[in-house]
Amino acid sequence: MNAKQVKDLWKLRNAEKLGDPTRMPRHVAIIMDGNGRWAKQHKLSVSRGHRQGTETLREIIRHTDDLGIEALSLYAFSTENWSRPAEEVSALMQLILDFFVSEIEELDQKNVRILILGDKSALPEKQRETLLEAERRTGGNTGLHLNIAINYGSRAEIVKAAREIAVQVQSGELSLDAIGEETISDHLYTAGQPEVDLLIRTSGEMRLSNFLLYQNAYAEFIFPEVLWPDFTVEEYDRCLKEFESRNRRFGARVEE
């Protein structure tokens, strides 16, 4: 057995522990909420809460890859997050930088392809260059799609798609009649990836907060009460189990 076969078997075994591997989500999206409240509970700075949240993120990425899930989207920094105190924004930017510098080797080795969702042009130069390099370096990989949303807003993403399509129509490259749902999907950051099957938002908040609005059309939502820094692999497995038990109908009438 070669290394890849061993890994595939291991992934299958891990997935089997959860039950029926065919009911695993293909794409999981996570809104990592609760770092601030965790910090407050522990009488620590908000930045320290985000640092702890980064530890959770590392574990969850590893576990998602081990399970052979195709795509994982994580909401790290929204376009609205710039309005947080300067100290917090700067700590988040530093954590993002540190994360990519320290993880890139392992992620690349694991065949993970990194994609940044959002407008990188507004980011500090160091962060922008590092993120671009991570995308370049892993762009040819064929494993887990790891999407990290940074300076991301879903409505802006849809507007960007609409503009790109309009340009194609204007130039005669695309006819109006040829525009379908796929055309929009093809112009989103996540083009070519499966739609989101499971959306998890930690900390008990039940909002989408402008995250992957188009891609979440038929997603199952799970809102664990636990704060993101306390979210464990076991808690994640519970969410995957819960997903497995959901009856997904996609608008159709399916007999039980």
Which parts of 135-174 interact with ligand FPP (CB under 6 A)? 148
Exposed, middle or buried: residue 237 (CB in 10 Å: 0-12, 13-18, 19+)? middle
**Per CB under 6 A, 35 contacts ligand FPP:** yes
CB of 54 to ligand FPP, least distance (A): 4
Q: Running DSSP on this structure, what letter comes out for residue 199?
A: E
State the minimum distance, in angstroms, from the CB of residue 151 to ligand FPP: 12
Tokens of 113: 């392809």
CB 139 within 8 A of CB 113: yes
Query: What count of other Cβ atoms lies within 10 Å of the Cβ of residue 169?
Result: 13
Q: Which residue has the tokens 């917090």?
A: 88
Selected binder of ligand FPP within 37, 48, 120, 160 (CB under 6 A): 37
**Which CB atom, from 8 or from 55, has the smaller least distance to ligand FPP?**
55
The answer to whether 36 contacts ligand FPP (rule: CB under 6 A) is yes
Given 14, 18, 70, 81, the residue binding ligand FPP (CB under 6 A): 81
Planar angle of CA 32, 89, 100, nearest 5 degrees = 65
53 contacts ligand FPP (rule: CB under 6 A): yes
Contacts with ligand FPP by CB under 6 A: the residue count is 19
* Strand positions, DSSP E, the chain: 27-31, 71-78, 113-117, 145-152, 198-201, 220-222
Q: Based on CB atoms, which residue is closest to ligand FPP, 211 or 243?
A: 211
Residue nearest to ligand FPP (CB): 36
Instruction: Tell which one of 15, 28, 30, 32 touches ligand FPP (CB under 6 A).
Output: 32
The closest of 133, 118, 120, 132 to 75, measured between CA atoms, is 118
Per CB under 6 A, contacts with ligand FPP among 192-221 are 203
Please identify which residue in 24, 30, 50, 196 interacts with ligand FPP, judged by CB under 6 A: 50
Sequence-ordered list of residues with C-beta below 8 angstroms from that of 88, at least 6 positions apart, any chain: 46, 47, 50
Cβ-Cβ contacts under 8 Å for 79 (sequence gap 6 or more): 118, 119, 151, 152, 153, 156, 210
Q: Would you count residue 25 as binding ligand FPP (CB under 6 A)?
A: no
Length of the chain in terms of residues written: 256
Of 92-100, 134-142, 157-165, 171-179, the window that binds ligand FPP (rule: CB under 6 A) is: 92-100
113, β-bridge pairs: 145
**Can you tell me which residue has the tokens 């065919």?**
22
Tell me: does residue 34 bind ligand FPP (CB under 6 A).
Answer: yes
Active centre residues (catalytic): 33, 81
Positions in the binding site for ligand FPP (CB under 6 A): 32-37, 50, 53-54, 57, 76, 81, 92, 95-96, 99, 148, 203, 228
